[in-house]
Chains A and B, each alone.
Chain A
Amino acid sequence: MSMAAKTEDSTFQLMLQDPVRRNEGFKRLMKQYGQMLYWHIRRIVVGHDDAEDVLQETCIRILDKIDSFKGDGPLQTWLYRIATNEALQHLRRQTRQFQSIDSLEDTLAAKLQAEASLEGHEMETVFQQALLTLPTQQRIAFNLRYYDELSYDEIARITGKTVQSLKTNYHYATQKIKNHITEHSS
Protein backbone atom coordinates (compact mmCIF):
# COMPACT_ATOMS: atom_id res chain seq x y z
CA MET A 1 0.00 0.00 0.00
CA SER A 2 1.51 3.30 -1.08
CA MET A 3 2.05 6.26 1.25
CA ALA A 4 -0.46 8.36 -0.71
CA ALA A 5 -3.11 5.66 -0.46
CA LYS A 6 -2.48 5.36 3.29
CA THR A 7 -2.89 9.12 3.77
CA GLU A 8 -6.07 9.10 1.71
CA ASP A 9 -7.45 6.18 3.72
CA SER A 10 -6.78 7.89 7.03
CA THR A 11 -8.41 11.11 5.71
CA PHE A 12 -11.53 9.11 4.85
CA GLN A 13 -11.37 7.29 8.17
CA LEU A 14 -11.13 10.56 10.12
CA MET A 15 -14.04 12.08 8.21
CA LEU A 16 -16.25 9.02 8.48
CA GLN A 17 -15.69 8.60 12.19
CA ASP A 18 -16.46 12.26 12.89
CA PRO A 19 -20.27 12.59 13.33
CA VAL A 20 -20.22 16.15 11.93
CA ARG A 21 -18.30 15.31 8.74
CA ARG A 22 -19.55 11.75 8.27
CA ASN A 23 -22.08 12.46 5.51
CA GLU A 24 -19.64 14.60 3.54
CA GLY A 25 -16.95 11.94 3.95
CA PHE A 26 -19.31 9.21 2.83
CA LYS A 27 -20.31 11.16 -0.29
CA ARG A 28 -16.64 11.61 -1.18
CA LEU A 29 -15.94 7.94 -0.54
CA MET A 30 -18.78 6.91 -2.84
CA LYS A 31 -17.65 9.35 -5.53
CA GLN A 32 -14.28 7.64 -5.47
CA TYR A 33 -15.24 3.99 -5.02
CA GLY A 34 -18.92 3.87 -6.09
CA GLN A 35 -18.40 2.72 -9.68
CA MET A 36 -15.73 0.25 -8.66
CA LEU A 37 -18.18 -1.30 -6.15
CA TYR A 38 -21.05 -1.27 -8.65
CA TRP A 39 -19.08 -3.19 -11.29
CA HIS A 40 -17.69 -5.64 -8.75
CA ILE A 41 -21.23 -6.37 -7.55
CA ARG A 42 -22.64 -6.47 -11.09
CA ARG A 43 -20.09 -9.09 -12.12
CA ILE A 44 -21.29 -11.28 -9.23
CA VAL A 45 -25.07 -10.83 -9.42
CA VAL A 46 -25.17 -10.09 -13.21
CA GLY A 47 -28.52 -8.21 -13.31
CA HIS A 48 -28.50 -4.40 -13.13
CA ASP A 49 -31.47 -4.16 -10.73
CA ASP A 50 -29.88 -6.77 -8.47
CA ALA A 51 -26.61 -4.83 -8.57
CA GLU A 52 -28.42 -1.62 -7.60
CA ASP A 53 -30.13 -3.35 -4.65
CA VAL A 54 -26.87 -4.88 -3.47
CA LEU A 55 -25.03 -1.57 -3.85
CA GLN A 56 -27.72 0.05 -1.70
CA GLU A 57 -27.31 -2.61 0.99
CA THR A 58 -23.54 -2.24 0.76
CA CYS A 59 -23.76 1.55 1.31
CA ILE A 60 -25.97 1.11 4.36
CA ARG A 61 -23.61 -1.56 5.74
CA ILE A 62 -20.55 0.67 5.15
CA LEU A 63 -22.16 3.56 7.07
CA ASP A 64 -23.27 1.20 9.80
CA LYS A 65 -19.89 -0.50 10.23
CA ILE A 66 -17.51 2.36 9.55
CA ASP A 67 -16.59 2.63 13.24
CA SER A 68 -15.30 -0.95 13.12
CA PHE A 69 -12.80 -0.09 10.34
CA LYS A 70 -9.49 0.17 12.18
CA GLY A 71 -7.29 0.96 9.21
CA ASP A 72 -5.19 -2.22 9.59
CA GLY A 73 -5.54 -2.90 5.86
CA PRO A 74 -6.48 -0.75 2.85
CA LEU A 75 -9.93 0.83 2.89
CA GLN A 76 -10.52 -0.45 -0.65
CA THR A 77 -10.10 -4.07 0.49
CA TRP A 78 -12.54 -3.49 3.34
CA LEU A 79 -15.10 -2.04 0.90
CA TYR A 80 -14.65 -4.97 -1.50
CA ARG A 81 -15.19 -7.40 1.36
CA ILE A 82 -18.48 -5.77 2.40
CA ALA A 83 -19.70 -5.63 -1.21
CA THR A 84 -18.72 -9.28 -1.80
CA ASN A 85 -20.55 -10.43 1.34
CA GLU A 86 -23.67 -8.47 0.42
CA ALA A 87 -23.62 -9.85 -3.14
CA LEU A 88 -23.21 -13.42 -1.87
CA GLN A 89 -26.06 -12.90 0.57
CA HIS A 90 -28.20 -11.62 -2.30
CA LEU A 91 -27.45 -14.77 -4.30
CA ARG A 92 -28.21 -16.95 -1.28
CA ARG A 93 -31.63 -15.33 -0.97
CA GLN A 94 -32.36 -16.44 -4.55
CA THR A 95 -31.67 -20.10 -3.78
CA ARG A 96 -34.09 -22.59 -2.28
CA GLN A 97 -33.42 -24.36 0.98
CA PHE A 98 -30.29 -26.57 0.88
CA GLN A 99 -29.49 -25.31 -2.64
CA SER A 100 -25.98 -24.02 -3.31
CA ILE A 101 -25.45 -20.61 -4.92
CA ASP A 102 -23.43 -22.39 -7.60
CA SER A 103 -26.68 -23.88 -8.84
CA LEU A 104 -27.78 -20.38 -9.92
CA GLU A 105 -25.66 -20.64 -13.08
CA ASP A 106 -28.69 -20.96 -15.39
CA THR A 107 -30.57 -18.09 -13.71
CA LEU A 108 -27.53 -15.82 -13.99
CA ALA A 109 -26.90 -16.91 -17.59
CA ALA A 110 -30.52 -15.99 -18.44
CA LYS A 111 -30.01 -12.56 -16.85
CA LEU A 112 -26.83 -12.09 -18.83
CA GLN A 113 -28.62 -13.04 -22.03
CA ALA A 114 -31.42 -10.59 -21.28
CA GLU A 115 -29.21 -7.66 -20.33
CA ALA A 116 -26.14 -8.02 -22.51
CA SER A 117 -26.00 -5.72 -25.45
CA LEU A 118 -25.24 -8.14 -28.24
CA GLU A 119 -24.31 -5.58 -30.88
CA GLY A 120 -20.55 -5.69 -31.15
CA HIS A 121 -20.24 -7.44 -27.80
CA GLU A 122 -20.47 -11.09 -28.84
CA MET A 123 -17.03 -12.03 -27.50
CA GLU A 124 -17.60 -10.21 -24.21
CA THR A 125 -20.90 -12.05 -23.77
CA VAL A 126 -19.30 -15.43 -24.48
CA PHE A 127 -16.55 -14.53 -22.01
CA GLN A 128 -19.13 -13.66 -19.34
CA GLN A 129 -20.98 -16.92 -20.06
CA ALA A 130 -17.71 -18.77 -19.58
CA LEU A 131 -17.21 -17.02 -16.24
CA LEU A 132 -20.66 -18.15 -15.10
CA THR A 133 -19.61 -21.79 -15.48
CA LEU A 134 -17.10 -21.27 -12.64
CA PRO A 135 -18.04 -21.91 -9.00
CA THR A 136 -19.10 -18.58 -7.45
CA GLN A 137 -16.10 -18.18 -5.13
CA GLN A 138 -13.71 -18.98 -7.97
CA ARG A 139 -15.54 -16.52 -10.25
CA ILE A 140 -15.26 -13.75 -7.62
CA ALA A 141 -11.54 -14.40 -7.18
CA PHE A 142 -11.02 -14.45 -10.95
CA ASN A 143 -12.90 -11.14 -11.36
CA LEU A 144 -10.89 -9.46 -8.61
CA ARG A 145 -7.65 -10.57 -10.27
CA TYR A 146 -8.58 -10.04 -13.90
CA TYR A 147 -10.82 -6.96 -13.84
CA ASP A 148 -9.80 -5.18 -10.65
CA GLU A 149 -6.13 -6.20 -10.90
CA LEU A 150 -5.80 -6.85 -7.19
CA SER A 151 -2.86 -8.74 -5.78
CA TYR A 152 -3.36 -12.29 -4.47
CA ASP A 153 -2.75 -10.95 -0.94
CA GLU A 154 -5.59 -8.47 -1.30
CA ILE A 155 -7.90 -11.10 -2.81
CA ALA A 156 -7.02 -13.43 0.06
CA ARG A 157 -8.03 -10.70 2.54
CA ILE A 158 -11.35 -10.19 0.74
CA THR A 159 -12.31 -13.81 0.20
CA GLY A 160 -10.67 -15.42 3.22
CA LYS A 161 -8.84 -17.95 0.99
CA THR A 162 -5.13 -18.69 1.02
CA VAL A 163 -2.85 -17.15 -1.61
CA GLN A 164 -1.78 -20.60 -2.81
CA SER A 165 -5.34 -21.83 -3.36
CA LEU A 166 -6.19 -18.58 -5.15
CA LYS A 167 -3.26 -19.03 -7.54
CA THR A 168 -4.26 -22.62 -8.27
CA ASN A 169 -7.90 -21.62 -8.74
CA TYR A 170 -6.94 -18.82 -11.11
CA HIS A 171 -4.99 -21.25 -13.22
CA TYR A 172 -7.92 -23.71 -13.38
CA ALA A 173 -10.36 -20.88 -14.06
CA THR A 174 -8.40 -19.60 -17.07
CA GLN A 175 -8.21 -23.14 -18.47
CA LYS A 176 -11.96 -23.61 -18.08
CA ILE A 177 -12.71 -20.24 -19.65
CA LYS A 178 -10.40 -20.98 -22.54
CA ASN A 179 -12.16 -24.30 -23.21
CA HIS A 180 -15.58 -22.68 -23.03
CA ILE A 181 -14.64 -19.89 -25.44
CA THR A 182 -13.08 -22.32 -27.90
CA GLU A 183 -16.26 -24.41 -27.85
CA HIS A 184 -18.71 -21.51 -28.12
CA SER A 185 -17.06 -18.89 -30.32
CA SER A 186 -17.85 -19.17 -33.99
Chain B
Amino acid sequence: MNELLDNIGKRLPYDESESYLDDLIDRVTEHAIMQQNLAKRKRRWSMMVVSVAASAALIISITLLHKQPTSNASVTLTGKGPIDEFLNSLSDEEAAQLPYYEIEEIPKY
Protein backbone atom coordinates (compact mmCIF):
# COMPACT_ATOMS: atom_id res chain seq x y z
CA MET B 1 0.00 0.00 0.00
CA ASN B 2 2.76 2.45 0.94
CA GLU B 3 4.47 1.83 -2.40
CA LEU B 4 1.19 2.41 -4.17
CA LEU B 5 0.61 5.68 -2.31
CA ASP B 6 4.20 6.73 -2.95
CA ASN B 7 3.61 6.34 -6.69
CA ILE B 8 0.47 8.45 -6.61
CA GLY B 9 1.90 10.91 -4.10
CA LYS B 10 -0.26 13.82 -3.04
CA ARG B 11 -1.15 14.91 -6.54
CA LEU B 12 -4.76 15.52 -7.48
CA PRO B 13 -6.21 15.04 -10.96
CA TYR B 14 -7.19 18.72 -11.29
CA ASP B 15 -5.72 21.48 -13.40
CA GLU B 16 -6.26 24.67 -11.38
CA SER B 17 -3.02 26.64 -11.42
CA GLU B 18 -1.48 28.44 -8.43
CA SER B 19 -2.07 31.88 -9.97
CA TYR B 20 -5.70 31.06 -10.76
CA LEU B 21 -6.24 29.98 -7.16
CA ASP B 22 -4.48 33.10 -5.83
CA ASP B 23 -6.90 35.25 -7.87
CA LEU B 24 -9.84 33.18 -6.67
CA ILE B 25 -8.79 33.57 -3.05
CA ASP B 26 -8.32 37.35 -3.44
CA ARG B 27 -11.80 37.59 -4.96
CA VAL B 28 -13.40 35.46 -2.27
CA THR B 29 -11.59 37.44 0.46
CA GLU B 30 -12.76 40.81 -0.91
CA HIS B 31 -16.31 39.51 -1.24
CA ALA B 32 -16.33 38.23 2.34
CA ILE B 33 -15.09 41.61 3.65
CA MET B 34 -17.77 43.38 1.61
CA GLN B 35 -20.44 41.02 2.94
CA GLN B 36 -19.24 41.61 6.49
CA ASN B 37 -19.40 45.40 6.02
CA LEU B 38 -22.87 45.10 4.52
CA ALA B 39 -24.03 42.96 7.42
CA LYS B 40 -22.60 45.49 9.87
CA ARG B 41 -24.35 48.36 8.08
CA LYS B 42 -27.60 46.36 8.07
CA ARG B 43 -27.26 45.71 11.81
CA ARG B 44 -26.59 49.43 12.42
CA TRP B 45 -29.63 50.34 10.30
CA SER B 46 -31.92 47.93 12.14
CA MET B 47 -30.65 49.29 15.46
CA MET B 48 -31.40 52.82 14.27
CA VAL B 49 -34.88 51.88 13.03
CA VAL B 50 -35.64 50.14 16.32
CA SER B 51 -34.41 53.16 18.34
CA VAL B 52 -36.40 55.62 16.20
CA ALA B 53 -39.52 53.44 16.49
CA ALA B 54 -39.07 53.17 20.27
CA SER B 55 -38.57 56.94 20.62
CA ALA B 56 -41.63 57.63 18.44
CA ALA B 57 -43.73 55.24 20.51
CA LEU B 58 -42.56 56.97 23.69
CA ILE B 59 -43.33 60.45 22.34
CA ILE B 60 -46.77 59.36 21.13
CA SER B 61 -47.68 57.76 24.45
CA ILE B 62 -46.51 60.85 26.39
CA THR B 63 -48.50 63.13 24.03
CA LEU B 64 -51.60 60.99 24.42
CA LEU B 65 -51.31 60.99 28.20
CA HIS B 66 -51.06 64.80 28.21
CA LYS B 67 -54.02 65.15 25.87
CA GLN B 68 -56.36 63.19 28.18
CA PRO B 69 -57.69 66.21 30.26
CA THR B 70 -58.18 68.35 27.12
CA SER B 71 -60.38 65.72 25.59
CA ASN B 72 -62.56 65.64 28.75
CA ALA B 73 -62.94 69.39 28.50
CA SER B 74 -64.03 69.14 24.89
CA VAL B 75 -66.68 66.65 25.91
CA THR B 76 -68.00 69.16 28.46
CA LEU B 77 -67.94 72.02 25.95
CA THR B 78 -69.91 70.09 23.38
CA GLY B 79 -72.59 69.54 26.01
CA LYS B 80 -72.47 65.78 25.95
CA GLY B 81 -71.13 65.17 29.46
CA PRO B 82 -73.27 63.44 32.14
CA ILE B 83 -73.97 66.76 33.95
CA ASP B 84 -75.14 68.38 30.72
CA GLU B 85 -77.38 65.42 30.01
CA PHE B 86 -78.85 65.73 33.50
CA LEU B 87 -79.44 69.49 33.07
CA ASN B 88 -81.02 69.04 29.64
CA SER B 89 -83.41 66.45 31.01
CA LEU B 90 -84.78 68.93 33.56
CA SER B 91 -87.96 70.86 32.85
CA ASP B 92 -87.87 74.72 33.13
CA GLU B 93 -89.51 74.57 36.57
CA GLU B 94 -87.10 71.99 37.88
CA ALA B 95 -84.26 74.03 36.54
CA ALA B 96 -85.56 77.15 38.29
CA GLN B 97 -85.60 75.27 41.60
CA LEU B 98 -81.94 74.51 41.39
CA PRO B 99 -79.97 76.61 43.86
CA TYR B 100 -78.01 79.29 42.10
CA TYR B 101 -74.69 80.46 43.49
CA GLU B 102 -72.50 83.37 42.57
CA ILE B 103 -68.81 82.58 42.73
CA GLU B 104 -68.39 84.97 45.65
CA GLU B 105 -71.09 83.14 47.65
CA ILE B 106 -69.22 79.89 47.75
CA PRO B 107 -67.92 79.63 51.29
CA LYS B 108 -64.21 79.37 51.73
CA TYR B 109 -62.74 76.61 53.85
A100 at the interface (CB under 8 A from B): no
The stretch of B7-15, B44-52, B93-101 in contact with A is B7-15
Partner of A63, one of B10, B15, B26, B32: B32
Q: Is the CB–CB distance between A178 and B1 below 8 Å?
A: yes
Whether B31 is near chain A, meaning CB under 8 Å from some CB there, is yes
With an 8 A cutoff between CB atoms, is B21 at the interface?
yes
Contact B29 A26 (CB under 8 A): yes
Is B28 close to A, CB under 8 A?
yes
Please determine whether A124 and B13 come into contact, CB atoms closer than 8 angstroms: yes
Number of A residues contacting the other chain (C-beta, 8 Å)?
Answer: 38
Q: Which chain B residue lies CB-closest to A118?
A: B13
Which residues in A have their C-beta under 8 angstroms from that of B15?
117
Contact B13 A128 (CB under 8 A): yes
CB within 8 A of A55: which of B7, B14, B28, B36? B28
Q: Which residues A23-54 have CB closer than 8 A to chain B?
A: 23, 26-27, 30-31, 34-35, 38-39, 42-43, 48, 52
Q: Which of B10, B14, B29 contacts A116 (CB 8 A)?
A: B14
> Could you say which residues of chain A place their CB within 8 Å of the CB of B7?
123
List chain B residues, Cβ under 8 A from A117. 13-15
A72 proximal to B (CB < 8 A): no
B12 to chain A, nearest CB (A): 6
Cβ-neighbour of A56 out of B11, B22, B32 (below 8 A)? B32
| B35 at the A interface (CB under 8 A) | yes
**Neighbouring B residues of A125 by C-beta, 8 Å:** 13
B16 — which chain A residues lie within 8 A by C-beta? 48
B28 vs chain A, min Cβ distance (A): 5
| Secondary structure type dominating chain B contacts | helix
Chain A, residue nearest B33 (CB): A23
| CA of A115 to CA of B13, assembled, Å | 8
Q: Which residues of A contact B39 (CB under 8 A)?
A: 64
Interface status of B59 (Cβ within 8 A of chain A): no
Q: Which of A35, A60, A123 contacts B21 (CB 8 A)?
A: A35
Residues of B near A118 (CB, < 8 A) are 13
Chain A residues closer than 8 Å to B11, beta-carbon distance: 121, 124
Give A51 to B29 CA distance when docked, in angstroms: 14
List A contacts of B12 (CB < 8 A). Answer: 39, 42-43, 124, 128
A26 touches which one: B4, B10, B21, B33 (CB < 8 A)? B33
Question: Contact at A64–B8, with CB atoms within 8 Å?
Answer: no
Known contacts A52-B28, A117-B15, A125-B13: A63-B8 contact under CB 8 Å: no
Q: 18 interchain pairs (CB within 8 A)?
A: A27-B29, A30-B25, A30-B26, A34-B28, A35-B18, A35-B22, A39-B12, A52-B24, A55-B28, A59-B31, A63-B32, A63-B36, A64-B39, A124-B8, A127-B8, A146-B10, A178-B1, A178-B4
